[in-house]
Structure 1
């Protein structure tokens, strides 16, 4: 698999329902540097698993709308918006956050990441730029 295919595999997995997706796509020694609206975090594989465990508790679905997916050697950059449906309102999909991530792939696993995110602005103009 190419590094780009490894990253695509992760984003195309059903993260709201697939508890094995992180383990399948991330190296056991991974490190993700994440700048989010609530501050900076460094996540290891266990922390990533916990993030998606929380996602599975709160949302019925999680979907990614990718606007950019670029590969340079073993580095992959992706820009996307995440969309969710809530347990309380499963019929309405809402934008959750905008992300830009740079992933370093080793073998067939993501080993390192640099990610920035912010809460989604639901305006049509904002959403059309992602």
Structure 2
């Protein structure tokens, strides 16, 4: 994986994350949901809980673990985008329980996937 472009590596990481989530019984609702200039990588249902999931993939830890890339600013953007999603798709209807998950993938030769449920709160 060392020679892949960052965008290609990110796409492969998201595919691996979707496969892993589906294997855990998640129902994938949307991928790459955009609001203004921000994107939520995966929106999925885990039972009755709506999950907004950020995926970060790196080929090495030279710049830190992928989970470290979801910092304060990125969290605020994800929360804003999740609120827009809820307003558009639920409006005045009851909103399901929601949570924010982060998936970090270190892909040196094979993907090493770490899934943090309820990684941060709005």
TM-score of Structure 1 vs Structure 2, range by shorter chain: 0.3 to 0.5
Query: Per residue, is there more helix in 1 or in 2?
Result: 2
TM-score (norm 2): 0.36
TM-score (norm 1): 0.35
